[in-house]
Amino acid sequence: MANDMRIGGLASGMDIDKIVGDLMKAERMPLDKMEREKTSLTWKRDAYRDVNKQLFEMENMAFDMKLEKSYNSKSTSSTDSSAVTASATSDAGNGNYKVEVNQLASAAYNLSETGISASGSDKIDPDATLSSQKSKFNNNNFNIGDTFTLKTYNEEGAQSETFKVESGDSLNDVLKKISNSGLGLRAFYEESSDKVMIERTKEGNFNSDSNEFLGAEIGFDGSTAPFLADTLGIKNGDNSSGTWELNEKGGNDAKFTYNGEMNITSHTNEYTLNGVNFKFNKETTSPVSVNVTNNVDSAIEKITKFVDKYNKIIEDVGGRISEQKNRDYQPLTDKQKEGMEEKEIELWEKQAKKGLLHSDSTLQGAMFEMRNEWYQSVNTSGQFSQLSEIGIETSSSYRDNGKLIIDEDKLRQALTEDSASVSKLFVGEGETEGIADKLKSTLNETIKQVERKAGKPSSVPSSYNLGESITQIDDEMDAFQDRLNQIEDRYWSQFTQMEKAIQKMNSQSNYMMQQFG
């Protein structure tokens, strides 16, 4: 009957649209109830997920609080930070470290002895093919197809690679082959000086054999590499004085003296000693003093943030658990929202959302467990076994529902005098779990339980309880809507038949009146 023509009261004079609408309002009441129930379940799911987000954030913080470095971080200071700076791990010993920098590490480099162009006013084009401008080179005794081998060194030993001057190569093409090789080199042509430079990309002296290429870091045999030695003018060594001297510059290790007694070398301008990483910026003529101390401020900040996060959960989750449901405000249906302003809807829903997690047993249990875990004793070899001993106590106000309060002066004193014992209180020792361990376990288990109820944004509805309930209501609403469509069609069919009958009766009446004239 859905496609039959509907007659809306022309014969009877009745407002059929309104009558059917009123009848359908009564018929829709069960569907409206289902829609409100679905909305309520969706709100409840979202409320659980919001709680889980907070619990997950605290669980991550609890993991950080299980790390000893959170309590034993170090601060460093230098009497000359332009020369020596340092950073320290939690294992570094406190105190002064005296460092005198005798030599900075440097990267090796070699460059053309003179300009490589035959004429200073008509320099070579590094992007043009070598064959097209052979005459422009100061030394053009090279052939396309010539090869040369370069050798460099690192901690694992030596590595070498052979390069070929290919047909169609430009100077920049050849230099890019060197730069893109695995030798740790950088090669380029500088136009104003008309020279080529090849340099190491890492500092230090790795070629310990002074007989191999005169101890060069960038090694090659000039007699078998005429393109490098002759055309580009990059020489291995100089024998003008009668003794071969290395043309290469740099390639030095850093050298420093520690505490005036210990001479140490490093391939780089950094060196780690006893958990302290020194960075050398320039050479010095006298010792620089680096002081390492406990970074109490960092530890206080981490502990404070952890406690603040717990207090926020106590306030928010505790408030949701104790909040009573406002039964005067039910979720609005889409039809009801059509006649309301946006602000009215917002205020209504604020009341309707109250008490969604009232007396939730999972969250109540988690709050109870966490409160106990903060208060429990932790028996380790440290001098502290209770949070109150380091300045963390429960608020005396019943309105705070067990929030924690930090006495920063007392906490600072504990960290300054014995940060290791503060660490043991949170981290534990041996088989003994610390406060952070216990809290993390409780948080992890609670998160899993909540996910079984409400899932997470990436979950499919069938994988959690509320999702299955919402899907079931959707199916019931679809089926009920089909039934309502049938009922509405039936009402219209009945009223249409009535209109047709009245119309027929009116026609007969008019005919008879005409006959009696």
pLDDT winner (highest mean) among 336-340, 404-408, 428-432, 488-492: 404-408
Answer yes or no: is pLDDT of 513 > 50.
yes
Helix (H, G, I), strand (E, B) or coil at 249: strand
Q: Which segments of 170-211 does DSSP mark as H helices, in order?
A: 171-179
Q: How far apart are CA 454 and CA 56, in angstroms?
A: 14
Answer yes or no: is pLDDT of 2 > 60.
no
End-to-end CA distance of the chain: 41
Confidence of residue 10 (pLDDT cuts 50, 70, 90): low
CA count, 13 A, side-chain hemisphere, 178: 25
In terms of Cβ atoms closer than 10 Å to its own Cβ (0-12, 13-18, 19+), residue 379 is exposed
**Position 249, amino acid:** K
Answer yes or no: is pLDDT of 8 > 70.
no
CB within 8 Å of 138: residues ≥ 6 apart? 114, 115, 116, 117, 118, 233
Give 154-167 pLDDT, tens digit per residue.
999 999 999 999 99
Query: Span 462-472, mean pLDDT?
Result: 91
- Report the residue count for the chain: 517
Give 371-384 pLDDT, tens digit per residue.
999 988 999 998 99
* Partners of residue 272 on adjacent β-strands: 277
pTM: 0.65
Answer yes or no: is pLDDT of 55 > 80.
yes
Closest CA relative to residue 225, chosen from 214, 217, 236, 215: 236
Residue 21 per-residue DSSP state: H
Answer yes or no: is pLDDT of 92 > 50.
yes
Neighbours of 405 (CB within 10 A): 14
Give 118-141 pLDDT, tens digit per residue.
987 789 999 999 999 999 999 988
Query: Span 353-359, mean pLDDT?
Result: 93
In the chain, % helix, strand, coil (3-state, to 5) comes to 45, 20, 35
Answer yes or no: is pLDDT of 3 > 70.
no
Provide the pairing of β-strand 237-238 with 245-246: antiparallel
Higher-scoring residue by pLDDT: 270, 34: 270
Neighbours of 168 (CB within 10 A): 10
- 356 within 8 A of 43, measured Cβ to Cβ: yes
Q: How far apart are CA 299 and CA 411, in angstroms?
A: 10
Confidence of residue 244 (pLDDT cuts 50, 70, 90): confident
Q: Which tokens is 364 given?
A: 């109540």
Q: How far apart are CA 428 and CA 426, in angstroms?
A: 6
CA count, 13 A, side-chain hemisphere, 156: 3
Helix (H, G, I), strand (E, B) or coil at 434: coil
Q: Which tokens is 43 given?
A: 């709100």
Q: How far apart are CA 488 and CA 494, in angstroms?
A: 10
Query: Span 291-298, mean pLDDT?
Result: 90
Q: How far apart are CA 217 and CA 236, in angstroms?
A: 10
Answer yes or no: is pLDDT of 1 > 50.
no
What is the tally of helices (H) and strands (E) in the chain? Answer: 11, 19
